[in-house]
């Protein structure tokens, strides 16, 4: 049977906020377009580039920084390495000079006000997140390529087929949860061990371990940075950042100077329920406040839901004695496998499935990772994932002003708490008596996505986006 080979590092991508489908995806699409011009020896022949944004990318593109992302991508900048503190100045320079250096090599005239079009009334049939790049050559010829940002930073060029048979042959191919459970039963391996074996199709085990730890490094740096950055989020909603004030309040004057001493200060406060709950919220808020500020985050599996998994993993490290490299890797590998199953069976795109596809999936991933690390069986891991998603079904995506702020930031705290609760429930349960399987909830999520009205799919045309006055702050 055909299967889609998805690596841990396809699910977890280092990038820039605020959106994986509206920022990271279009950024990658723009990179691919100029790289294709270069490969075809047409880059230096190009005299003009225009960008057409369709559907959800047009309706909420300004709030998600889609216009910023495509400009940086066309310049050849990479979201993994580009200095986030230079984004504003580079975009201002392009606007002021009305010039752009494609792939950092070839200068063309480019006026963002004229050459980026937001086609809010037009949607292409394949996916709501569509972008077309038009390049004009010196001889008058033109080249057009259309890309679809399908969620989680994944990009498909028009004419490509998603989910086709891969050239990478995995030891344990997985399309759904039943496949994963089959391999676990047949081999006696835990979920993260199955995933590690599959990752050897791409690289050695040591490289996989180091790459996973690098993902955690970016996550924890994002948490720490967010917990120490006050101020107002950009975009015009005037939403106040809360994590820094909450961090200060919870630590009550305790001294620390880096992440490790900060972690010790947190632990010294004990594990009272309210105290723990406040910290989980603080961790999640910190990440998504950074995300909303064009900070460096890890898509997990999306940017809008980037705070759930780091918050739950930080909870495990802070309050469950989980500060162990093997356990951190175990958590991330398990969570990524659950995310890949959701991508194959449903979607990671809020523009296709609403927020159940983002916060719901991230909560299910985090619940699975935590349960595996807490000693749960393979069936308990899948049960935890199912419980987390079951109680996110139907969750809409209705960002006010098209910004990844309200209600997105707080939703990460909810997703993290639900993940922890789902894990606890699964660890105290016997999965053989469960009425709902993980595959059944994934199928239900996809059917719900198909039934959901388009105005609740990242368009800012419904829900809170039309019922909350823009002048009001969130809290």
How far is residue 176's CA from residue 394's CA, in Å, rounded to a whole number? 21
Examine residue 23 and state whether it is found in any structural domain, yes or no: yes
Question: Does 233 lie in the same domain as 117?
Answer: no
Q: What confidence tens digit (pLDDT) does each residue in 385-414 have? A: 999 999 999 999 999 998 999 999 999 999
Q: What confidence tens digit (pLDDT) does each residue in 50-90 have? A: 999 999 999 989 889 999 999 999 999 999 999 999 999 99
- What pLDDT was estimated at residue 159? 87
CATH code, 120 = 3.30.1330.90
The domain of 434 spans 177-467
Burial call 399-421: b when 16+ CB within 10 Å, e when fewer: bbbbbbbbbbbbbbbbbbbbbbb
Instruction: Residue 36: name the closest of 182, 143, 171 by CA.
Output: 143
Question: Does 260 lie in the same domain as 369?
Answer: yes
Question: Does 208 lie in the same domain as 149?
Answer: no
% of the chain exceeding 70 in pLDDT: 97
Q: What confidence tens digit (pLDDT) does each residue in 144-156 have? A: 999 999 988 999 9
How far is residue 415's CA from residue 281's CA, in Å, rounded to a whole number? 10
Number of structural domains in the chain: 2
Examine residue 430 and state whether it is found in any structural domain, yes or no: yes
Question: Does 285 lie in the same domain as 400?
Answer: yes
Q: Which of 127, 157, 187 is the last residue of a domain?
A: 157
Is pLDDT at 140 greater than 80 in this prediction?
Answer: yes
CA neighbours closer than 13 Å in the CB half-sphere of residue 95: 11
Question: Does 183 lie in the same domain as 60?
Answer: no
Examine residue 166 and state whether it is found in any structural domain, yes or no: no
Q: What confidence tens digit (pLDDT) does each residue in 276-317 have? A: 999 999 999 999 999 999 999 999 999 999 999 999 999 999
% of the chain exceeding 90 in pLDDT: 94
Question: Does 57 lie in the same domain as 106?
Answer: yes
How far is residue 203's CA from residue 412's CA, in Å, rounded to a whole number? 32
Q: Rounded to 5 degrees, what are φ and ψ at 298?
A: -110, 125
How far is residue 56's CA from residue 455's CA, in Å, rounded to a whole number? 10
Reported confidence tier of residue 471, pLDDT bands at 50, 70, 90: low
Question: Does 221 lie in the same domain as 147?
Answer: no
Distances (CA, A) of 253 to 225, 261, 263, 266, 325: 18, 13, 14, 11, 29
Reported confidence tier of residue 16, pLDDT bands at 50, 70, 90: very high
Q: Is 316 helix (H, G, I), strand (E, B) or coil?
A: helix
- What pLDDT was estimated at residue 474? 46
Burial class (CB in 10 A: 0-12, 13-18, 19+), 40: exposed
- What pLDDT was estimated at residue 1? 55
Q: What confidence tens digit (pLDDT) does each residue in 420-459 have? A: 999 999 999 999 999 999 999 999 999 999 999 999 999 9
Q: What confidence tens digit (pLDDT) does each residue in 433-444 have? A: 999 999 999 999
Examine residue 165 and state whether it is found in any structural domain, yes or no: no
How confident is the model over 187-216, as a mean pLDDT? 98
How confident is the model over 319-332, as a mean pLDDT? 97
Examine residue 1 and state whether it is found in any structural domain, yes or no: no
Question: Does 188 lie in the same domain as 117?
Answer: no
pTM across the whole model: 0.93
Question: Does 214 lie in the same domain as 76?
Answer: no
Examine residue 162 and state whether it is found in any structural domain, yes or no: no
Examine residue 475 and state whether it is found in any structural domain, yes or no: no
Question: Does 204 lie in the same domain as 90?
Answer: no
Question: Does 90 lie in the same domain as 146?
Answer: yes
Average pLDDT, the chain: 95
Question: Does 223 lie in the same domain as 128?
Answer: no
The DSSP bridge pattern shows strands 46-54 and 116-119 to be parallel
How far is residue 314's CA from residue 279's CA, in Å, rounded to a whole number? 9
Is pLDDT at 330 greater than 80 in this prediction?
Answer: yes
- What pLDDT was estimated at residue 161? 66
Examine residue 51 and state whether it is found in any structural domain, yes or no: yes
Is pLDDT at 218 greater than 70 in this prediction?
Answer: yes
Q: Which of 113, 129, 157 is the last residue of a domain?
A: 157
- What pLDDT was estimated at residue 87? 95
Distances (CA, A) of 356 to 83, 341, 457: 31, 15, 10
- What pLDDT was estimated at residue 472? 46
């Amino acid at each position: 049977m055909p299967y889609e080979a998805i690596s841990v590092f396809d699910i977890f991508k280092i990038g820039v906020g605020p959106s994986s489908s509206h920022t990271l995806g279009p950024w990658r699409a723009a990179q691919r377009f100029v790289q294709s011009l270069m490969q075809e020896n047409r880059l230096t022949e190009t005299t003009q580039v225009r960008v057409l944004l369709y559907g959800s990318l047009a309706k909420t593109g300004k709030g998600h920084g889609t216009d910023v992302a495509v400009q940086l991508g066309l310049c050849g900048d990479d979201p993994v390495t580009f200095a986030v503190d230079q984004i504003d100045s580079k975009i201002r320079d392009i606007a002021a000079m009305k010039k752009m250096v494609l792939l950092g090599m070839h200068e063309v005239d480019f006026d963002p006000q004229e050459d980026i079009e937001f086609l809010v009334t037009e949607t292409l049939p394949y996916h709501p997140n569509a972008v077309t790049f038009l390049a004009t050559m010196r001889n008058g010829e033109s080249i057009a390529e259309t890309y679809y940002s399908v969620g989680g930073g994944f990009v498909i060029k028009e004419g490509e087929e998603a989910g086709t048979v891969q050239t990478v042959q995995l030891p344990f191919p997985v399309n759904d949860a039943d496949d994963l459970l089959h391999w676990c039963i047949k081999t006696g391996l835990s979920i993260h061990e199955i995933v590690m074996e599959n990752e050897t199709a791409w690289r050695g085990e040591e490289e996989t371990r180091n790459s996973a730890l690098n993902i955690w490094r970016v996550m924890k740096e994002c948490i720490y940075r967010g917990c120490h950055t006050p101020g107002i989020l950009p975009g015009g909603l005037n939403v106040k950042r809360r994590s820094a004030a909450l961090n200060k309040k919870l630590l009550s004057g305790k001294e620390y100077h880096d992440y490790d001493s900060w972690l010790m200060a947190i632990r010294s406060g004990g594990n009272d329920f309210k105290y723990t709950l406040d910290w989980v919220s603080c961790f999640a808020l910190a990440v998504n406040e950074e995300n909303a500020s064009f900070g460096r985050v890890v898509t997990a599996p999306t940017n809008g839901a980037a705070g759930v998994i780091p918050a739950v993993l930080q909870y495990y490290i802070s309050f469950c004695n989980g500060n162990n490299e093997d356990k951190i890797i175990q958590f991330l590998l398990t969570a990524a496998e659950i995310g890949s199953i959701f991508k194959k069976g449903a979607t990671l795109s809020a523009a296709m499935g609403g927020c159940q596809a983002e916060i719901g999936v991230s909560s299910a991933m985090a619940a699975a990772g935590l349960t595996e690390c807490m000693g749960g069986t393979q069936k308990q891991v899948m049960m935890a994932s199912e419980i987390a998603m079951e109680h996110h079904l139907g969750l809409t995506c209705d960002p006010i002003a098209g910004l990844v702020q309200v209600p997105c930031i707080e939703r990460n705290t909810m997703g993290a708490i639900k993940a922890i609760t789902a894990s606890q429930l699964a660890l105290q349960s016997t999965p053989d008596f469960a009425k709902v399987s993980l595959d059944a909830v994934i199928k239900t999520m996809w059917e719900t996505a198909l039934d959901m009205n388009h105005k609740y799919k990242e368009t800012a045309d419904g829900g809170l986006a039309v019922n909350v006055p823009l002048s009001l702050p969130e809290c």
